Amino acid sequence: MIKEQQTQSTQEIVTENALITSSTLKDAELLLRFIMILILLTAAISKLLGQGSFQSYYLNLFSNPELRFTLPNFFIRFFLEITPYLELILGLAFFITKIRRVLILVWTLFFGSLIVGHYILMEWNYVMLIVPIIILSTLDFILPSYNHPLQRK
């Protein structure tokens, strides 16, 4: 049994009950990336169609004097203004497989900044909800890139 596992191709992972091929891992990567695209584009479109309600809502929250600490108002305004466009650009860019690992790093930094923002607002539930989203990106980062079926070797 050990010799059989050692002779397996590096393209395959042996588990107790199943064989996971490289093709399966690449399909899983595509599925994860699709979910990431869906999250980003849904968030961006929702914010852009909200006619500024996103910005005014969070500006109001960040102006609360009872927060543990505050950030400069120009910084908050700038971040809230670029957020929907960053989500839109990042969501569309994820269709480009060749740069997905760089985009995943940007995704992780972006969602890390959201964790900081919700931490400042003392919204602990939102902080904990964002952690699995970052784990999703980590999983996508380690999976091999999906290739179009006609390009597979």
Q: Percent of the chain at pLDDT above 90?
A: 56
Mean pLDDT of the chain: 85
What's the pLDDT score for residue 15? Answer: 54
- 52 — phi, psi (to 5°)? 90, 0
Comparing 5-14, 16-25, 34-43, 63-72, which segment has the lowest mean pLDDT? 5-14
Higher pLDDT, 27 or 85: 85
| Cβ neighbour number for residue 136 with a 10 Å cutoff | 18
Strands 12-14, 19-21: parallel, antiparallel or unpaired by DSSP? antiparallel
The model's pTM: 0.79
The answer to whether residues 144 and 25 touch, using CB atoms and an 8 Å cutoff, is yes
**For residues 97-107, average pLDDT:** 92
pLDDT tens figures, 13-26: 555 556 778 888 88
- Give residue limits of the domains in the chain: 27-145
CA dist 99 and 88 (Å) reads 16
